[in-house]
Amino acid sequence: MGVYEMGSPAVAMERAVIKKMALQFGFDETADGFLTSGGTLGNLTALLALRQIKAGYDAWNEGNADVNLGILVSEEAHYSISRAVKILGWGEAGMIKVPVDDRFRMDVSRLDACYDEAVRKGIRVIGVIGNAGSTGTGSYDPLQAIADFCAEKDLWFHVDAAHGGAAVFSENQRSALDGIQRADSLIIDFHKMLFCPALVTAVIFKRGEDSYQTFAQKASYLWEQEDAEWFNLGKRTFECTKSMMSLKAYFLLKEYGEDFFGKVVDRLFKSAQTLAGMIRKRDTFELLTEPMANIVCFRHLPKDNREPDEHNARIRRHLLEDGRYYIVQNRIRERLYLRSAIMNPFTTPHHFSDLLDEIGKIADHDV
Ligand SMILES: *Cc1c(COP(=O)(O)O)cnc(C)c1O
């Protein structure tokens, strides 16, 4: 898949998938990109392009030199962003964390102060990352406001839509992504809400030519020219050999279509509302925040003076051992929450009430 002559059908399908998704997100025909092995690698690849384009010098060949580069991200950003920042060699200081509001969205009123503070410390801020939505709580950052800020300061705007980008297929939910069409780059995982067997991630650039900036690298045994050849995908992907991932994404889109995925998203988001409603009604439970997507964070409140974090961690261990339900845990603002990401559209309200009953029973008896 790295070169056209070795995988022409897959390369053509990949082109079709990228072009279709780009239009879906509100970009025009000039947008372009590629598929890659997961959101983690997708974020890294996009950030490499961001650096090459916004650093103001040839960072690919000269390295970071003595310039301290950095980006602004929500404190709820996925860990792959901090990993990418550190791989880029910017260190801890290169990731400037913007606080979140009570629904765990980036508090954009703090952007200016965070930017100024970074500049004062000698960091050249070159981009902002928006969450759509965040992994922890499924919160969508205010993308329009971030886009405005990036336009004002001439910064790159990258959107991590690995999980929540699927909302683009839903008439009811796509407003959460309002502003994503102004991003310079974005990623979306097909293996999150789009039913794809792992791994298939799209990295899409508003201006297709930007996608060639990631690896300004020569590999003359594979291709003769240094031009932007869309069909030699290896020029732009981290991978050289790559699995035929376009096959999965292409056929899922072709066979089921946008309406189907819109319905899946609607169903999953509604399920989260249902679960949240049930949690709110039970006074032995606490809901962290109203879900914006298909992710619900909550915790059980211990009767006696047990330590709540320990109590919920023990509940989760019991659930895991029992094996009927799988939920994860998440530490938010120093407190431990149970986190349910509802991925199966066939999940019913009965499953939720049964889960909550089960947690109640574990709390009463075993813990
Ligand atoms: C899942 C996720 C990632 C990482 O994607 P992988 O495909 O697991 O590497 C990055 N960002 C967000 C917001 C995610 O939800």
Q: What is the pLDDT of residue 366?
A: 61
Helices (H) and strands (E) in the chain, counts: 9, 11
- For the stretch 296-316, pLDDT in tens is 999 999 988 889 999 999 999
Q: What is the pLDDT of residue 305?
A: 84
Q: Is the pLDDT of residue 179 over 90?
A: yes
Q: What is the pLDDT of residue 228?
A: 78
Q: What is the pLDDT of residue 129?
A: 98
* C-alpha Rg value of the chain to the nearest Å: 22
Question: Mean pLDDT for the chain?
Answer: 94
Ligand 1 atom nearest the C-alpha of 134 is 13
Give the H or E element holding residue 329.
Answer: strand 328-332
- Chain centroid to Cα 210, Å, comes to 20
- For the stretch 144-167, pLDDT in tens is 999 999 999 999 999 999 999 999
Q: Is the pLDDT of residue 120 over 60?
A: yes
Q: What is the pLDDT of residue 218?
A: 55
The structure's pTM equals 0.96
- For the stretch 310-353, pLDDT in tens is 999 999 999 999 999 999 999 999 999 999 999 999 999 999 99
- For the stretch 8-41, pLDDT in tens is 999 999 999 999 999 999 999 999 999 999 999 9
Total Cβ atoms within 10 A of residue 43:
26
Q: What is the pLDDT of residue 226?
A: 64
Substitution site in 73, 80, 187 for ligand 1 pocket (most atoms within 8 Å of beta carbon): 80
Q: Ligand 1 centre and the CA of 128: distance in Å? A: 17
Q: pLDDT-derived band of residue 224, with 50, 70 and 90 as boundaries?
A: low
Ligand 1 atom nearest the C-alpha of 80 is 10
Q: pLDDT-derived band of residue 217, with 50, 70 and 90 as boundaries?
A: low
- Measured by CA distance, the residue closest to atom 4 of ligand 1 is 39
- Measured by CA distance, the residue closest to atom 5 of ligand 1 is 39
The pair of structure tokens assigned to 25 is 């997100």
Q: Is the pLDDT of residue 64 over 70?
A: yes
Query: Which ranges constitute the DSSP H helices of 55-186?
Result: 59-62, 79-87, 111-120, 143-153
Q: Ligand 1 centre and the CA of 15: distance in Å? A: 22
Contact criterion met (CB below 8 Å) for 136 and 332: yes
Q: Is the pLDDT of residue 207 over 70?
A: yes
Ligand 1 atom nearest the C-alpha of 78 is 11
Contact criterion met (CB below 8 Å) for 70 and 123: yes
- Measured by CA distance, the residue closest to atom 10 of ligand 1 is 39
Q: Ligand 1 centre and the CA of 35: distance in Å? A: 14
Q: What is the pLDDT of residue 3?
A: 86
**CB-defined site of ligand 1, < 6 Å:** 38-40, 78, 80, 135, 160, 162-163, 189, 199, 201
Ligand 1 atom nearest the C-alpha of 40 is 9
Substitution site in 104, 163, 243, 268 for ligand 1 pocket (most atoms within 8 Å of beta carbon): 163
Q: Is the pLDDT of residue 222 over 60?
A: no
Q: pLDDT-derived band of residue 225, with 50, 70 and 90 as boundaries?
A: low
Q: What is the pLDDT of residue 281?
A: 98
| Burial class, 21, CB count within 10 angstroms (exposed 0-12 / middle 13-18 / buried 19+) | buried
Q: Is the pLDDT of residue 249 over 80?
A: yes
Ligand 1 atom nearest the C-alpha of 189 is 7
Contact criterion met (CB below 8 Å) for 266 and 173: yes
Judged by DSSP in three states, 233 sits in: helix
Q: Ligand 1 centre and the CA of 162: distance in Å? A: 5
Which residue in 265, 253, 255, 158 sits closest to 200, CA to CA?
Answer: 253
- For the stretch 259-299, pLDDT in tens is 999 999 999 999 999 999 999 999 999 999 999 999 999 99
Percent of the chain whose pLDDT exceeds 70: 96
Q: What is the pLDDT of residue 214?
A: 87
Strands (E) located in 132-266:
156-160, 185-189, 201-205
Q: Ligand 1 centre and the CA of 135: distance in Å? A: 7
Q: Ligand 1 centre and the CA of 163: distance in Å? A: 6
Q: How many CA atoms lie within 13 A of 5 on its CB side?
A: 3
Q: Is the pLDDT of residue 235 over 90?
A: no
Q: What is the pLDDT of residue 86?
A: 97
Q: What is the pLDDT of residue 353?
A: 97
